[in-house]
Amino acid sequence: MAKEHLRTPHSLRLMSHARWLTAIGCFVAVVSVPAATPPAEKLLPDDTLLFATAPDFNSLREALKKTSTVQLWNDEAMRPVREKFMARFREELLVPLERDLGAKPEDYAKFAQGQVTFAVTANGWQGEAGGRPGLVLLVDAGDKKDELTKALAGFRQKWTAGGRNLRVEKVRDFEFLVLNLSSNDMPATLRRLLPGASTVQELGKPGEEAGPEPAKAEFIIGQAGSLFIAANQLKPIERIVSPLSGGTTPVVADLAQFQSCQPAFFRDAKAFAWANAKALMDVLTKLSERREQAAAEAPDPLATIRPEKILKATGLAGLRNVALAFQDAPEGPVIQLHLGLPEAERTGLLTVFSGEGKEAAPPPFVPADALKFSRWRLDGQKSWQSLTNGLAEMFPTFMNVLADTISAADAEGKLRDEKFDFRRQFIENLGDDVIYYQKPPRAGEAAARAPFVSLIAVKNTDDMMAVLKIIFAPVPGDKGAEEREFLGRKIYTVTTMSGPQLDPSVPATSKIVLSASGGYVLLSTDEAAAEEYLRSAETPVKALRETPGLPEAVAKVTDPGTRAVGFENQLELARLRFAAAQRFVTATNEVSSGLTPV
């Protein structure tokens, strides 16, 4: 028979005490673990107009290191350029800034261990005079929060030691330093960087005392947990620290405009930006109305240009939100743009981009050595109509100017052909395909002179060529025009003067080359590139579309509704940038060696 273990009252009391000690220990352990700083969308108030954030700045740094531009900059071959640039950067900015602030800027860069966020909040501002939005910077120091506390204490000591005043404000038990700054209080280095921030002195009329001192702006800095906060007003800070101390202030994450794109669009993003387009539109409209009212008293020609009219004409007036995300994929960085605009409210130029997509991959005649390529499957006549309607809405006199221009073109064309009709031969002749590609520059030529080819699909190439010859006819000072035949097709070339050039590698003249083949009219700056395209109809070229990996890359960025595709050969473009940087170093050294010490 199994023995039964009896518990004495004394042993029961010991077990009871043990349970309490265990519970207290668990509570202390939970409290002692620092709570993670909430993401930007759960910190920023719901009146945020726009913000940009890197949820983990260290992760963003690593992702940026993989980009071709940063890899080129960090390459050993770029060391002379990098050292020369950084030496001037330190000499002209960092060293003076360190002297003015009494601290090294790079000492503060280490505190970006978690999120880094910049935001603009409405803060009660609706475009009225005298009001201003809130500007906020958030930097999560992570496990360096104690170092951040010491750095802020050191900054406070140096600021007051320099004779500058500040006051301390408490926001939910967090201390913030409020610096009252005029343009004269701003460090000289920063005044040089900011337009209009020069030293000023208010003077009265002759015989009178100087006027009152200009109003000072507030600059507020402080720390809440591991989060460094800087702002231009206290009110946004009050709303931001509320979630950090258990408050329930409404935040961006509560907004339907944010929720509509957040789950998928921002997932795994190394950095992203979001704007409350509807709120921004409301503020923009009120600003325009106020400027228009002011123009009634003091006429201002620019007041007739209403930004909201421009947005309405382009079809962006109905935007709910705008978002941009930077993601790091195995194939390379991916940047996505999201426009929150209901299909029923898409008007203006946006109607051109909606609807059924068409084949947008590189055609077989685009050569494999193309540095850049783009293809837009736009309905030409629909695009023309949307563009002219939009411009007419923005500028009421535009249609009159357009009518006069078409009449002048008709008159010029009828001098050559009495049946010439600009509207029929140009507008009604437009097709649904626009192609552009750029080829490498010739040896010894600057990258800016890289030849390009633009192709526009049309219904009748002869009619369109007749119009283009009028548009690109030589003007006084040009070297004239030449028309010749190549493989049974006409090539029309206008040689124009390029004007004064600082770069000796840039020719003093440039060319405009026109031709037509395969249902496209061609516009180029290089006769050889134009001939290559014309020759491809009979002798196929090694095509860009056959480049290994390109079809798979195109498939990743297209879907059944795609209207446009673009491509860049970043490796070859990096070579060109490197060559340009080498020329910069050589030219700088030659100039430096030619200077005579004073």
Q: What is the pLDDT of residues 237-293, one digit of tens each?
A: 999 998 888 778 899 999 988 888 776 778 889 999 999 988 887 787 777 677 666
Q: How far apart are CA 456 and CA 431, in angstroms?
A: 7
Distance (Å, rounded) from C-alpha 7 to C-alpha 24?
24
H or E stretch covering 169 = strand 166-171
pLDDT given for residue 265 in this prediction: 78
> Residue 21: what pLDDT?
39
Taking the CB of residue 55, how many other CB atoms lie within 10 A of it?
A: 20
The pLDDT of residue 508: 63
Q: Find the helix packing angle between 380-394 and 398-414, rounded to 10°.
A: 130
- Residue segments in the chain with a per-residue pLDDT below the cut of 70: 1-35, 100-105, 127-130, 181-216, 263, 288, 291-315, 317, 343-356, 444-448, 476-478, 497-508, 584-598
Instruction: Note whether 467 and 455 are within 8 A (CB).
Output: no
CA distances from 120 to 123, 308, 316, 323 (A): 9, 20, 21, 15
* Contact present, 524 and 513 (Cβ < 8 Å): yes
Q: What per-residue confidence (pLDDT) applies to 159?
A: 82
Report the C-alpha gap between 142 and 114 in whole angstroms: 6
What backbone phi and psi angles, to 5 degrees, belong to 186?
-70, 135
pTM over 0.75: no
Helices marked H in 328-480: 350-353, 380-394, 398-414, 422-425, 461-471
- Determine the angle formed by the axes of helices 277-297 and 307-314, rounding to 10 degrees: 140
User: 3-state DSSP call for residue 267?
Assistant: coil
pLDDT per residue as tens digits for the range 50-102: 999 999 999 999 998 888 788 878 888 888 888 888 888 888 877 877 776 66
Exposed/middle/buried for residue 184 (C-beta within 10 Å: 0-12, 13-18, 19+): middle
Q: Let me know how many helices (H) and strands (E) the chain has, helices first.
A: 21, 18
- Residue 573: what residue type? L
Buried b (16+ CB within 10 A) or exposed e, 98-123: beebeeeeeebeebbbbbbbbbbbbb
Q: Angle, nearest 10°, between helix axes 461-471 and 398-414?
A: 100
**pLDDT value of residue 132:** 81
Query: What per-residue confidence (pLDDT) applies to 496?
Result: 78
In 282-320, which ranges are E strands?
A: none
Report the candidate in 522, 519, 443 with the shortest Cα–Cα distance to residue 486.
Answer: 522
